[in-house]
Amino acid sequence: MRRLALLLCLLAPASTAAQDGGAQDGGARNGVERAAEAIADAAAELVGSDAGRVVLRPRVDLPEDAPHGLPAALTASARARLGDGAHVALFGGLDAEGAAAATRLGYDAMLDLDARIEGGFLRWFLTLWRGDARIGERSGRVRLDVALRRFTGFPPRLQDADVRPQTVLLPTTDVVAIAAHDLDDDGRAELVVVRADGVRVYRLEPRGRRLRARELGRAAWPAEATRAPVPRRRVIASARPDGDAVALRISELAPALRVSLVSGAVQLRVAEGPCPEGRYPMGGGCAELVHGRDFYDQLLTRGDAPTLEAQGNFFAHVYGEFADREGGRLAAEGLVTPHGRMSVRLARRGPEGDETERSVGAVGYGTALAMTDLDLDGAPELLASTASAAGEGDALVLMRALPRGALHVLWRSEPTTGPVFVAGTGDLDGDGRDELFAVEEPLERRGGARLWIVR
Amino acid sequence: MDRSLIGAALAILALAVSAAPARGALGPKHGGAITLPAPEPATTLDPARAETAFEATLTEALFDRLYEVREDGTVEAVLAAGPPEIEEDVARIRLRPGALHHGTRPIRARHVVRSLQRTSSAPLASWLLGAFATENGRPAIREVDEETVEIRLARRGLRVDIVLAATPLAIVVGGNVRGRPLGTGAFRGRLDGRGGVELRIFRSAPDRPPWVNRVRFTPPRPREEEVRAFELGRLDGSWWSRSLYGGQPVRPVETATATAASPVLLVPNRARALRDDDAWGGVASAIDRARLERVGLVARRSLGAGLPAPRLPRGRAPRGARLRMIVRDDRPFERRVGEALAGMLDERGIALQVDRLSPDRLDATVARGDWDLRIALVRPPLPGRGPLVGAALAAAGQTDRARRLATQLGDAEVAAEAARQLDVLVLGQERLLLHHRADLRGFGFDGMGRLTLADASFARSRPEATR
């Protein structure tokens, strides 16, 4: 019961789970709020201090049967920011005609907001007109999350037959941790690969109908990281997105490190946070290794959020909050214990505030585990490796964790040649939707690893 | 680093990689205890005195060095915090913060200084200190502060990190160095006083703790008893595949094999009966290496790949000569080699008397010069030709030449010339073979002939994934 209360309290509106890279709802702010905030910033920048009377003309290209309200939601922040002199008006005509109409109506300027759906993004253009003169333009895009999808429409629910695995050659081996994060703010996640000898950053680029991993750069451990702490027997590392960088740790004796892209070059530096000394950053918080073992203790400290007590010690842990299409929210936590048991805990708060908690488990899973909601239905998908015997290949399993407390296997790979140790989630192809991915190591340490991308 | 050193490091450590734990998606299982028979009575846990593969196995499990040569040939800091800071001929080494020794206290500079200086009294390891300058007859190693050690080098430009990566220079923090030392390795260890050894997991090991909780080497036992105990499950491995009467274990068994990169030398005493080249050349030519295969030797003429064989004089077997050969009575391998050599020389009319001596008596006898032939086991402290030749010189008693070589470990030509002038007969390399239970993973010999105790683990039971 205590755990239920803990998980549910994490679902409170002021939840600090924004640090969770897997949260589909963007943490504290959803996509609508983020888009409105970005538009307000752009409007304030365009109009300047001497706003005068400004009319906002939103034009949002949505399907005919889409629910109303998105234009108002997108301009709400801008109206508040511009003050009493700002109004929202809907009138037709071309851009210049609209500006002329606004002048005739007594406005000093018109901010024309044009928003449309581009793939998995809401793309917006904001243009400032004074009379028939076009003064300036700003644009931006926001990923279509559940909040935006309520206006634009949801993708079809993922069915077994719809799962599309894809493999990409990753020109590296011996990956000990991996994270996907948009390091250069171009809307596409880069792949941060952690090895025992340093960090490599890749970007997936289309080549024909397939993807190709291009190395953006690499960095060895900085001198002040005291290279020695990387142990010989088994390197245990973790990485997670943190702000505009990826935070990682390679040993409990090593300092915390951050990987970022600075002017296109990979920068790896010692930096405090996000976890205290000796603790490994991961989605659910900061974990500590069990003394003398290669798995983590069940207590995850979470900075300004309550400590999360996992169901047990674990090899891999994922945590995320997911909004569903009906307005409810689900806190999902999954882990793989040192004995290969997967345990998933699901706490849902319904639209009416009703609360339920379910748990489900299965055995025979490995150390690779990642979670995201691929189809934005509020039931997250998990990608896990199996507990293969030593020296053998492995397999990948995609499961849906249903809020009623069940794991539904959507897809299972053919046995892989090599073992799979790490998995992650992120928008690797820049289509606005997250993918789940895992790295299959080559058995003979020759060639490269295979990056499995599943969605 | 010298190319030859890197190449050799790659070659040797490639073998070590192949012995690394097989990688499964779930990682090795923790816990359990491995019980193995000791191939010979364990008499010391001192890394500076390790000669046999078994002793090297034990010291590798118990101790770490300041630096290690990794599989790709690079030198990496282990107990040091990073590469040494070198200013002219002075190297400063900072210790790795947070590294604990077996007494669960941080390792300090004074531990390192004491450990390195004590090596000067070890005959097989002291030659490595030739790379350091001396002050008042002692190696110029001093403590700057609690976490910094300063070493003055014998010459500028010397790669001190490579020298400090040598296995005999592993850091012994304290304790009873022979029987219950304190180190920083994956296991805490102690001799049981009967020839066996107890190793227990050290959970704070800087290089990560091992997978198993305990490894016990029981005192050596007769072959029949050992095979029977293995068959009954009282032992997890045996050095014998079958008993003298053909009895074989019926349960699943796997066999780890390796040829240790450690040559076995026949060292002559050129101050007695073998003083003239004719006699020594005759004895050397009377030995057929191929016939030593059955006692566990892989025949080799040179110390290692890429090195020339020692130049041996030509001569005729001194018929009727009586020679005295000394071997350690606690080393069955040396005894077997000695007996095989006695048989071969007997056919040529040379009477070889093989005397089995305790370690202390053997050392005293060698020092007195009261012997004609002896066996020397060469344990290379580092990958590469230079260290191998240096260790061979030290094992053959030519310590001064070995010390000079310590300042030029990376020079392949110097090593080759020293190998050519080595006045010994290379018999071959020891063949290692251990039969063990089939559910041991990551267990075997590394390229240096050491058992990979810290990488060993028991297989997991295999659960099926549920839908």
* Residue with the two structure tokens 């816990």: B31
A392–B26 C-beta distance less than 8 A: no
Query: Is residue B325 included in any domain, yes or no?
Result: yes
Query: Is residue B245 included in any domain, yes or no?
Result: yes
- CB-CB neighbors (< 8 A) of B464 in chain A: 363-364
- CB-CB neighbors (< 8 A) of A441 in chain B: 23
Same domain, B405 and B294: yes
Indicate if the pLDDT at residue B467 is higher than 50: no
Measure B186 CA to nearest chain A CA, in Å. 10
Helices (H) and strands (E) in chain A, counts: 5, 29
Residue A48, pLDDT score: 81
Same domain, B442 and B334: no
Same domain, B343 and B268: yes
- CB-CB neighbors (< 8 A) of A366 in chain B: 24-26
Residue B456 lies in domain: 26-63+176-255+432-461
pLDDT in tens, B318-350: 888 899 999 999 998 999 999 999 999 999 899
Residue B42, pLDDT score: 93
Average pLDDT, chain B: 88
Cβ(A404)–Cβ(A393) under 8 Å? no
Same domain, B45 and B86: no
Name A166's Cβ contacts closer than 8 Å, sequence gap at least 6: A210, A211, A452, A453, A454
The full DSSP string for B118-145 is: HGGG-TTTGGGGGGB-EETTEE-EEEEE
Cβ(B366)–Cβ(B395) under 8 Å? no
**What b-and-e string marks burial along B168-199, b requiring 16 or more CB atoms within 10 Å of the CB?**
bbbbbbebebebebbbbbbbbbbbeeebbbbb
Measure A215 CA to nearest chain B CA, in Å. 22
B78–A228 C-beta distance less than 8 A: yes
Residue B428, pLDDT score: 94
Integer Cα distance of A382 and A399 in angstroms: 5
Of A234, A363, A421, the CB nearest to B25: A421
Domain ends where: B171, B205, B235? B171
Residue B37 pLDDT level (bands cut at 50, 70, 90): very high
Integer Cα distance of B172 and A425 in angstroms: 46
A297's tokens: 């203790």
pLDDT in tens, B162-200: 999 999 999 999 988 888 999 999 999 999 999 999 999
CATH code, domain with B108: 3.90.76.10
Same domain, B78 and B45: no
Same domain, B317 and B335: yes
Measure A425 CA to nearest chain B CA, in Å. 19
Residue B250, pLDDT score: 66
Integer Cα distance of A66 and A62 in angstroms: 6
Residue B465, pLDDT score: 44
Tell me which residues of chain A have a C-beta less than 8 Å from any C-beta of chain B.
Answer: 223, 226-234, 253, 291-294, 315, 338, 340, 362-368, 385-392, 394-395, 397, 409, 419-421, 441
Mean pLDDT of all residues in B76-104 = 91
pLDDT in tens, B364-381: 999 999 999 999 999 999
- CB-CB neighbors (< 8 A) of B112 in chain A: none
Cβ(A278)–Cβ(A286) under 8 Å? no
Domain ends where: B147, B171, B195? B171
List the single residue in B with minimal CA-CA distance to A342. B465
Average pLDDT, chain A: 85
* Regions of chain A short of the pLDDT cut 70: 1-28, 50-51, 92-93, 226-232, 389-392, 445
pLDDT in tens, A384-435: 999 876 556 789 999 999 999 999 999 999 988 888 999 999 999 888 889 9
CATH code, domain with B194: 3.40.190.10
List the single residue in B with minimal CA-CA distance to A292. B203
Give the distance, in angstroms, between the CA of residue A93 and the centroid of all CA atoms in the same chain: 39
Measure B441 CA to nearest chain A CA, in Å. 8
Measure B87 CA to nearest chain A CA, in Å. 18
Same domain, B348 and B325: yes
Residue B175, pLDDT score: 86
Residue B4, pLDDT score: 53
Same domain, B323 and B405: yes
Integer Cα distance of B452 and B446 in angstroms: 6
Query: Is residue B84 included in any domain, yes or no?
Result: yes
Cβ(B78)–Cβ(B185) under 8 Å? no
Interface contacts (A, B; CB < 8 Å) = 125
Residue A316, pLDDT score: 93
Percent of chain B at pLDDT exceeding 90: 64
B368's tokens: 């007195």
List the single residue in B with minimal CA-CA distance to A411. B467
Same domain, B110 and B198: no
B8's tokens: 């050799």
List the single residue in B with minimal CA-CA distance to A231. B207
B28–A390 C-beta distance less than 8 A: yes
- CB-CB neighbors (< 8 A) of B202 in chain A: 292
pLDDT in tens, B233-258: 899 999 987 655 555 666 678 889 88
Query: Is residue B18 included in any domain, yes or no?
Result: no
Domain ends where: B171, B195, B214? B171
- CB-CB neighbors (< 8 A) of B27 in chain A: 234, 294, 315, 367
β strands within B329-390, DSSP E: 351-357, 373-377
Helices (H) and strands (E) in chain B, counts: 11, 23
- CB-CB neighbors (< 8 A) of A394 in chain B: 24-25
A389–B460 C-beta distance less than 8 A: yes
List the one residue out of A269, A245, A244 whose CA is nearest residue A255: A269
- CB-CB neighbors (< 8 A) of B204 in chain A: 291-292
Q: Rounded to the nearest 5°, which phi and psi values hold at B56?
A: -65, -35
- CB-CB neighbors (< 8 A) of A237 in chain B: none
Amino acid identity, position A124: W
Of B21, B463, B465, the CB nearest to A397: B465
Integer Cα distance of A13 and A18 in angstroms: 11
CA max distance for chain B: 81
Cβ(A400)–Cβ(A158) under 8 Å? yes
Same domain, B99 and B156: yes
Indicate if the pLDDT at residue B11 is higher than 50: no
Cβ(A55)–Cβ(A141) under 8 Å? no
Bridge partners, residue A193, by sequence: A178, A200
Query: Is residue B467 included in any domain, yes or no?
Result: no
B204–A228 C-beta distance less than 8 A: no
List the one residue out of B314, B416, B26 whose CA is nearest residue A392: B26
Name A36's Cβ contacts closer than 8 Å, sequence gap at least 6: A73, A74, A75, A76, A77, A78
- CB-CB neighbors (< 8 A) of B21 in chain A: 390
Query: Is residue B238 included in any domain, yes or no?
Result: yes
Residue B176, pLDDT score: 87
Positive or negative, the CA dihedral A95, A96, A101, A103 is positive
Query: Is residue B335 included in any domain, yes or no?
Result: yes
Same domain, B299 and B388: yes
CATH code, domain with B396: 3.10.105.10
Same domain, B35 and B52: yes
Indicate if the pLDDT at residue B12 is higher than 70: no
Query: Is residue B12 included in any domain, yes or no?
Result: no
Q: Is A259 exposed, middle or buried (0-12, 13-18, 19+ CB in 10 A)?
A: buried
Mean pLDDT of all residues in B262-286 = 92
Q: Is A348 exposed, middle or buried (0-12, 13-18, 19+ CB in 10 A)?
A: buried
Tell me which residues of chain B have a C-beta less than 8 Å from any C-beta of chain A.
Answer: 21-28, 30, 68, 70, 76-82, 96-99, 186, 201-210, 441-442, 454-455, 459-460, 462-467
CA distance to A135, B292, B319, B425, per residue, from B316 (Å): 107, 21, 8, 16
- CB-CB neighbors (< 8 A) of B98 in chain A: 229, 253
pLDDT in tens, B387-446: 999 999 999 999 999 999 998 888 889 999 999 999 999 999 988 989 999 889 889 998
Cβ(B420)–Cβ(B405) under 8 Å? no
End-to-end Cα, chain A, rounded Å: 34
Measure A17 CA to nearest chain B CA, in Å. 29
Residue B18 pLDDT level (bands cut at 50, 70, 90): very low
Of A226, A234, A340, the CB nearest to B26: A340
Residue B318, pLDDT score: 81
Where do runs of H (alpha helix) occur along A275-430?
none
Of B21, B78, B465, the CB nearest to A362: B465
Domain count, chain B: 3
